[in-house]
Amino acid sequence: MELRSDRRGLLSRVWHTIGNVGVPPLRAGEHRTVVATNQFAALASLGAVPYIVYFLANLPEMRQPAVTTLVLVGWWGVTILLNARKQYLVASVIAIFAFELQLANLAHWFTTESGFHYLLFAGGMLTFMLFRTREWSVRGTFIIVSVVIFLYCEAQWPPSSRHHEFGSYAVTVLLVTNVLATVLLLYVVARFDMHYYERERRRNAELLDAAQVAAQTDALTDVYNRRGIAPVLSAVVRRGDYALALVDLDRFKLINDRLGHGAGDVVLSNAARTLVKSVGDDGVVARWGGEEFLVVIPGRSLEDADAIMERARADMEAEYGAPDSIARVTISVGLAHAQRFTGKEETLRLADANLYEAKSSGRNLVVSGRLAAVDRD
């Protein structure tokens, strides 16, 4: 069981390596077409092996198709080398041109009753794998060529006298094999396209998620910004009693003046990290502006909220508040507690007033208060 798993891993790595020959460093569209060309060349070469064996087993009658099929496999090897040399368009053109040319040759050699020309349906679909969207003219040309060859095979080519030399049973075997090969190739094309569709869908979803996170997150402190905290705040107001705390770094301007704005950014980032750690699961932290933070505390009493913010104040002082530090950091906190449905604007005004009182009372304090009125929106 373990050996089988290792074998699958090895085959998967080989397949991935072949598909990515010449890929880095490509844009998304080029990546798709190069991988498609490489993997088509490898898969088609493997698919040609049974035909080659059959043709070689029936020499000398089938010398011509044996030779041309071997040459075709060689051409597909050339396409991988061309991709390695970054000749992407040339590689794709050669891959599909050689494929369609050989189908026309085999359909003529074994007659249309052998079904080789049915593979031209897959040849038309392959253009959507092997060429980028902007190469629509090349796609269209090969689709038209596929249709023309197919119609010409159906309408113009008479049965070859060679058909009778190797028997109708052999033609029937070829017909069944080619029909199955056509269905398989169409399935592979569909799976390939679905794979890249899902891949692009996931990538777009990840980019959208990243963009949304970036739009709601403060780049410096890695906490919510005003846009990010707004829906949280609105939900908390509707859910029940809540508290809002405005936190301001004391004498932050002195740090910027003495050490520069770069050091000030480091202080802000560290202070935000400590504040988030101290508040923990009891609240949500956002950068409100400058050196000011907003902490939203849902479902707690005034006393509980006051204890949470006092803990944060003490943690900040313990970590950064040494009196001899050149970048000493303490915080002043204005805390406002409100009942459910109390307007957040009014609660923020009380928190701001309490913050002002904490500043004017000597800083490094938590000043709290309660809003008794309920303002139902």
Q: Return the domain boundaries, the chain.
A: 2-213, 226-370
Q: What is the mean pLDDT of residues 79-87?
A: 85
Tell me the range of 103-107, 252-256, 354-358 where mean pLDDT is highest.
354-358
∠ Cα 361 260 219 (to 5°): 85
Please state, in angstroms and rounded to a whole number, the distance separating the CA atoms of residues 321 and 4: 62
Residues assigned a catalytic role: 291
- Please indicate whether residue 266 or residue 162 has the higher confidence score (pLDDT): 266
Extended strands (E) in the chain: 242-249, 284-289, 292-298, 331-338, 366-370
- The model's pLDDT over 127-147, given as tens digits with 9 standing for 90+, comes to 887 887 778 888 888 888 888
Q: What is the mean pLDDT of residues 82-100?
A: 86
Confidence of residue 369 (pLDDT cuts 50, 70, 90): very high
pLDDT at 64 over 70: yes
Q: Which residues of 8-47 are buried (b: 16+ CB within 10 A; e: fewer)?
A: eeeeeeeeeeebbbbbeebeeebbbbbbbbbbbbbbbbee
Whole-angstrom CA distances from 135 to 4, 75, 130, 267 are 42, 22, 10, 53
| pLDDT for 373 | 56
pLDDT at 312 over 80: yes
Q: What is the mean pLDDT of residues 212-227?
A: 90
Q: What is the mean pLDDT of residues 185-198?
A: 79
Contact 287, 329 (CB under 8 A): no
Which class in CATH covers the domain with range 226-370? alpha beta
Please state, in angstroms and rounded to a whole number, the distance separating the CA atoms of residues 166 and 110: 10
